[in-house]
């Protein structure tokens, strides 16, 4: 792997940037690997990277049915935060946020992480009580979060409408200043480049069609469109398609898959300094480095494996955005898209072993997977390497749905972004 530096950029500029090589290889599958990871999104690639860098396991394949980062990693609104209510969630997302803070240097790849702050608006008494509870809980866990009055919210985010005549008047907000955004495809490319440089095989256009088990029931590899690939351990990190892949191994998962939509406006000059989220009206917005307003909606009402959702969902979201930010009413929308999110009953992820020996799963991130990418990959790599959970992901086992030890972030936050 050729390192990026000022010297390398200047030398390539002189030559018209013709000397850059491929960022990762396009290898043929080996007959077998120590670990096969199903899913070439951010979580899967991060898992492979940390297996190689932290645990020294480099005989690893990442199997992706399309192209890397072509699923939810490239279809989200890139919000990063750690201000979750429950201790288990707060520890997991704070672990990820700390990794985000040094990720560009770690990968020698600019993931464009911008700690511009995430402001969560309160529109009623319940919101105020809920967000203040979050603030106090976060502070007990050493996580930054602070309460702002409506006027302070306006000062932090000038486009915000705090008129008392609004349908959903802004009464205040909870601000995490260390939160922000990153460039989604750069995250996938950075992890892919780093993993490939350490010997990991990234197998694109290689769809898994089955999970092979031995006479004792243990997973011994995966059937793919490019032939059988043996593995000592298989990790499934397939987001909205996890239930499909796990069904190939005879494991029924407590997951529902929904389309989740987002859209962007035409590009404009810098006008929006932070990320703003409103749970009451279910909309969130930021501005990309290209100048587009990035707007996210809630999940569709019906389960589906489609990457397209209902038009009424985006219409409702735009109504809410125009209510909170009236100056955007004349903005034209440029494009929209959807991803497939896998949602658990308690809206918290599943990271760990399965009833099938040698088969592990990392799923159930719902609408909040991107922000957890480094932390998820780090703890899942530990689980795959050792066979035991990392202390941070120990509470997020599949078994909690049998014991009842749920982590109900849905009830705590009303929305799991």
DSSP annotation string for 82-133: ---SSHHHHHHHHHHHHHHHTHHHHHTS----B---EEEEE-SHHHHHHHHH
Residue 389 to residue 397: CA distance in whole angstroms: 9
Residue 396 to residue 384: CA distance in whole angstroms: 15
- Provide the pLDDT for residue 408: 86
- Provide the pLDDT for residue 297: 86
Please name the residues in contact with 289: beta carbons below 8 A apart, sequence gap of 6 or more. 112, 183
- Provide the pLDDT for residue 200: 98
Interval 40-63: pLDDT, tens: 999 999 999 999 999 999 999 999
What are the angstrom distances between the C-alpha of 329 and each of 252, 311, 319, 325?
45, 18, 9, 8
Strand runs labelled E in 135-216: 146-149, 172-176, 180-181, 201-203, 208-213
Q: What does residue 363 show for φ and ψ, rounded to 5 degrees?
A: -155, -175
At 38 the three-state DSSP class reads strand
Sign of the Cα torsion 164, 168, 172, 175 reads negative
Please name the residues in contact with 190: beta carbons below 8 A apart, sequence gap of 6 or more. 103, 104, 107, 109, 111
Ranges of residues in the chain whose predicted pLDDT is under 70: 411-417
Instruction: For 276-335, give the DSSP string.
Output: EEETTTTEEEEE-TTSPEEEEEEE-SS--S-S---HHHHHHHHHHHHHH-GGGTTPPEEE
Q: For the chain, first and last CA: distance in Å?
A: 35
Q: Tell which phi-psi region holds residue 233, choosing left (phi > 0), alpha (psi between -120 and 50) or beta.
A: beta
Please name the residues in contact with 186: beta carbons below 8 A apart, sequence gap of 6 or more. 109, 110, 111, 112
- Provide the pLDDT for residue 201: 98
- Provide the pLDDT for residue 92: 97
Pairing assessment for the beta strands 283-287 and 227-236 based on DSSP bridges:
unpaired
Structure tokens at 410: 């849905």
Q: What does residue 62 show for φ and ψ, rounded to 5 degrees?
A: -105, 120
Please name the residues in contact with 140: beta carbons below 8 A apart, sequence gap of 6 or more. none
Identify any residues that bridge with 362 across adjacent strands, giving them in sequence order: 351
Is-contact 357 217, C-beta < 8 A? yes
Interval 256-304: pLDDT, tens: 999 999 999 999 999 999 999 998 877 899 999 999 999 998 888 888 8
- Provide the pLDDT for residue 416: 42
Please name the residues in contact with 323: beta carbons below 8 A apart, sequence gap of 6 or more. 161, 166, 167, 168, 281
At 162 the three-state DSSP class reads coil
Question: What is the SS3 string spanning 171-188?
Answer: CEEEEECCCEECCHHHHH
- Provide the pLDDT for residue 1: 79
Residue 114 to residue 187: CA distance in whole angstroms: 13
Residue 332 to residue 295: CA distance in whole angstroms: 12
Structure tokens at 83: 């201000």
Is-contact 376 369, C-beta < 8 A? yes
Structure tokens at 315: 């219409």
């Amino acid at each position: 792997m050729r390192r990026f530096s000022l010297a390398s950029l200047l030398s390539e500029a002189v030559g018209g940037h013709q000397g850059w090589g491929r960022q990762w290889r396009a290898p043929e599958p080996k007959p077998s690997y120590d670990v096969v990871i199903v899913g070439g999104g951010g979580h899967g690639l991060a898992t492979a990277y940390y297996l190689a860098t932290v645990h020294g396991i480099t005989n690893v394949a990442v199997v992706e049915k399309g192209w890397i980062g072509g699923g939810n990693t490239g279809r989200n609104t890139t919000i990063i935060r750690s201000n979750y209510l429950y201790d288990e969630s707060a520890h997991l997302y704070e672990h990820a946020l700390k990794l985000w803070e040094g990720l560009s240097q770690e990968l020698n790849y600019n993931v464009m992480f911008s700690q511009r702050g995430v402001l969560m608006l309160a529109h009623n008494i319940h919101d105020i009580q809920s967000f203040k509870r979050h603030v106090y809980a976060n502070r007990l866990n050493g996580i930054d979060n602070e309460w702002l009055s409506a006027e302070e919210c306006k000062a932090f985010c000038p486009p915000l409408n705090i008129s008392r005549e609004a349908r959903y008047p802004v009464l205040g907000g909870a601000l995490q200043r260390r939160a922000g955004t990153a460039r989604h495809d750069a995250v996938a490319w950075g992890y892919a480049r780093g993993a490939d440089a350490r010997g990991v095989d990234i197998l694109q256009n290689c769809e898994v069609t089955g999970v092979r088990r031995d006479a004792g029931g243990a997973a011994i590899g995966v059937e793919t469109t490019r032939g059988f690939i043996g593995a000592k351990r298989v990790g499934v990190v397939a987001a909205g398609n996890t239930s499909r892949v796990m069904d190939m191994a005879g494991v029924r998962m407590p997951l529902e898959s929904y389309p989740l939509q987002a859209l962007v406006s035409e590009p404009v000059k810098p006008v929006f300094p932070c990320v703003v989220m409103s749970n009451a009206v279910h909309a969130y917005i930021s501005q990309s480095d290209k100048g587009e307003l990035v707007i996210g909606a809630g999940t569709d009402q019906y389960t589906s494996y489609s990457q397209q959702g209902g038009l009424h969902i985006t219409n409702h979201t735009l109504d809410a955005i125009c209510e909170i930010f009236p100056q955007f009413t004349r903005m034209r929308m440029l494009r929209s898209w959807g991803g497939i999110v896998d949602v658990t009953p308690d809206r918290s992820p599943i990271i760990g072993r399965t009833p099938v020996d040698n088969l592990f799963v990392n799923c159930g991130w719902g609408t909040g997977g991107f922000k957890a990418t480094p932390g998820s990959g780090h703890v899942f790599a530990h689980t795959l390497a050792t066979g035991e959970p990392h202390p941070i992901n120990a509470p997020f086992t599949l078994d909690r749905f049998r014991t009842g030890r749920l982590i109900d972030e849905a009830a705590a936050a009303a929305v799991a972004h």
